[in-house]
Amino acid sequence: MVELPKPVRELISFFERLPGIGPKSATRLAFYLINAPSDFSKNFSRAVIEMKTRIKKCRVCFGVSEEDVCPVCGNGKRIQTTICVVERSIDMLAIENLGDYEGVYHVLGGVINPLEHVGPDDLELDSLFGRVRSMAGNGHGVEVEIIIATSPTMEGEATALYIKRKLDEIDQSIKITRIGSGLPIGADLEFADQATLSRAMEGRKGL
């Protein structure tokens, strides 16, 4: 049996760590880079390094950004009292691409999942509750809406209920909604098409 050279095996093993990439796809990608022009490989590696160097988390919503505050949080025209809570930055991008959401976001960084040893303290939940407290306690009578847009999986639903319980402890006048019809149970938000996401946002309901 012929064994691949060590650099190729290492490259394949790194590709296999990427989500949705199995051994066959990883091998194809590795051999594509082997046969690609040297300039392509150099630009590819430079793009990865630059991404890791320049991209940071927004200090407000924890989405990806090149600046300390992302363009959404820094946009004074957005409705700051409407916060859409999502699992990952890619979910934020999916909703943003709809083009009709005018609020802001909060990226949790995942969902509560005891089987994976992910608890509330491992997510950006305290920062979310801090944002809500600052708005709910401003004394101006402004309605605050929290749209919980975690994926409709068991873990996503459990996270949504945890958030609702904590928000009720902060202020029961907070409007808490959950994205509604259009997303089947077990679906990942990032794979939903724009029409489905739009219906889900329009059909959000009280939690």
pLDDT (mean) for 22-29 = 95
CA gap 109, 89 in Å, rounded: 8
Domain identity same for 148 and 87: yes
Calculate the average pLDDT of the chain.
89
Does any domain span residue 1?
no
Domain identity same for 103 and 161: yes
User: How many domains, the chain?
Assistant: 2
Residue 195 predicted with pLDDT over 70: no
CA gap 180, 11 in Å, rounded: 42
Per the structure, the complete domain to which residue 28 belongs is given by: 6-54
Domain identity same for 37 and 130: no
Does any domain span residue 59?
no
**Low-confidence winner among 40-49, 55-64, 169-178 (lowest mean pLDDT):** 169-178
Domain identity same for 89 and 129: yes
Token pair, residue 153, equals 């999986």
Percent residues over pLDDT 90 in the chain: 68
Q: Please, which contacts does 125-131 make with residues 24 or more away whose CB atoms are closer than 8 Å? A: 125/162, 125/163, 125/166, 127/62, 128/83, 128/85, 128/163, 129/166, 129/167, 129/170, 131/60, 131/83, 131/106
Percent residues over pLDDT 70 in the chain: 88
